Structure 1
Amino acid sequence: MNKATSSSAAGSCTLVGAGPGDPELLTLKAVKAIQAATVLLVDDLVSESILASYARPDARIVHVGKRGGCKSTPQAFIERLMITAVREGETVVRLKGGDPFIFGRGGEEVEHLREAGIECTVVNGITAGLAAVTSLGVPLTHRDHAQGVVFVTGHARTGAGAAEDPTDWRALAATAHSARLTLVIYMGVAGAGHIERELLHGLPGDTPVAVVQHASLPNQRQVATTLDRLQAGIAEAGIASPAVIVVGDVLRGLAAAVLPADGNRFGT
C-alpha cells in the first residue's frame, strides 16, 4: 500500500536522460523539462554545459554524484531528496547521463516514488552504448552481421543480497555467437580481464572489439582491437572509465580499417 496518497504530492518529478554528453544530443522534451525545473538533482556524468545552457537561473542544482568506482551519494538519500522536494511543491528533475532506464537506477527511483504516492514522468535519452558505436561510424545491428543487441553491465552490485558474479559471461558469449548478437558492456573497464577470459569460452579470440571513453564529447578516445587483446588494448591505449565496451562482428569493417595484421595498432 502506498505510504502517502498522490494528493500529498504538490509538485512533480521527471526523470530525464541527458544523453552521452554532447548537449546537442538532448531531446526537445528533455530541454523543456530542464528549463521548467525548480530543483535539479544531477549525476556526475551530465555535462555542465547542459546546465549552463538550459537550467533556470533560479533553479536549485544539487549534484548527486553516481559514478562507478568513485564515492557516490547514497541512493536512498537521493530518493528522499526527490520525495521531499516534490512534497514541498517543487518541479523536480532527476537528470541522469544516458538514459534513465538503462543502468541509470531509474527503475528503482520510480518504484520508491510510487511507494510515496508520487507518479513521475520519464524522458528517454540517447544511451552511451548507442552513441559510442555511432561515433565510430558502425551500427549495433546489421542484417549481415548481427541480428540483435544485448546491453549488460560489467559492474556487479555490491552489498547485502548481491550475487558474487551475477553475469554468466560464458553463457552470454555462447548465445551471442550462436544468435549473432552484439554485446554492449557498460562499466566493464575495471573487470576487463575477467570479462575477456570468460567471453573467450564462447566467442573466437579474433572477435572485433571497440572500447569508447567519453562517447560524443570532444575528449572522446577509443581503441579497436580483438577479444583476446581486450585487457591489453585498454591498458596500452590508456582508456579509463567512463567507457563502453562493444563486442561483435558489426565492428569488422572498423577493425579492418584501423588494425594491421598483427592487431597491435590502436585508434585514439
Structure 2
Amino acid sequence: MQTTHIGGVGIGGDNPVRLMGVINISPESFFHGSFVPSGEVAAHAHMMIDRGAEIIDIGARSTAPDSRPISISEECDRLKRSLSELVGSGIPISVDTMHAGALEVALRYDIDAINDIHGLADESFARLAADSGLPVIAMAAVHAPGDACGADATKAALAVVLGRCEQYGIVDLVLDPGIGRWVPGRSFNDDWELCRRFSEFSVFDRPLLGAISRKSFIGDLLGKPAEERLFGTLALTALLIEAGAGMIRTHDIVPTYDAIRVSERVLRRRP
C-alpha cells in the first residue's frame, strides 16, 4: 500500500493506525461537545496532541443534514480566527472544507493537509489543492458529497476520485469511503454495508480513513443521541481497524487512542 505523509506523520503501509482529532469551530455541529470557540482552539489542539492525537482536523461549517447553512465568507472568517491561533504550533493540521474560497484562505496559514468531502469534484478547488502540493483526504463523491449509495457505488465513486487526482497531479492521498447520512437517498443500511465491506476499499492501494465518530446510523441502531454514542463508536472503530483503516477521525481522543492500541496489539501490528 502506498504511504501518505501529513506533517511528517506517515499514514498507511507499515505505519501504525493514526489518530485524527476533530475540532469543530462551527457551533452548528451535530455533536455540540465538539465545538471549540475562538480563542480556545490552540489550547484544545495541544490538549488533543498530548492525549494521543497525531493530526488535528479543523472544520468551520457543519455538513450534517439539516444543519444551519452559513456563507463562504463566514466560513472564511472562522478559519482565519482559528488557524491564526495555530501558526507556529508544530501541530499537523488538516482543514475540512469543500469550497475553493475557503481553501484559498486556509492555504495562507500553516496547514499540512486538505480534507475534501466533495472528492475534488470542483475544478477550481482541485486546482488549488494540486498547486498547494499538500496531501488530500478525499471522500467518495461523484457529483455531491456522499452521493454514492452502497459499497459498489462507493467503489465506483472512489475510482472517479482517483481519476481526478491523476488528472490534476495529486499524488499524496488518503481515501474516505464517506460513511454517514450525506444525501437523502442514503440509508442507514448503506452505512452498515460500507462498514461491513470496508476492507474492499483497500483495492485502491491507498490509506483509508475511518470517519464514523458518533454518527447518526450508530444512534439509530442504539436509540441514542450523539452525546451517548461513544461506546458504539468505539466498537465499530475496532472493527474498521481490523478491516484496514489507516487513520481514525474522532471527537474522543483518549478512548479512541486506547481502542487503537488494543486493536493493533490483537492484530500484531504494534507491540
Give the TM-score taking structure 2 as reference length: 0.32
Q: Of Structure 1 and Structure 2, which has the larger fraction of its residues in helix?
A: 2
Q: Of Structure 1 and Structure 2, which has the larger fraction of its residues in strand?
A: 1
Give the TM-score taking structure 1 as reference length: 0.32
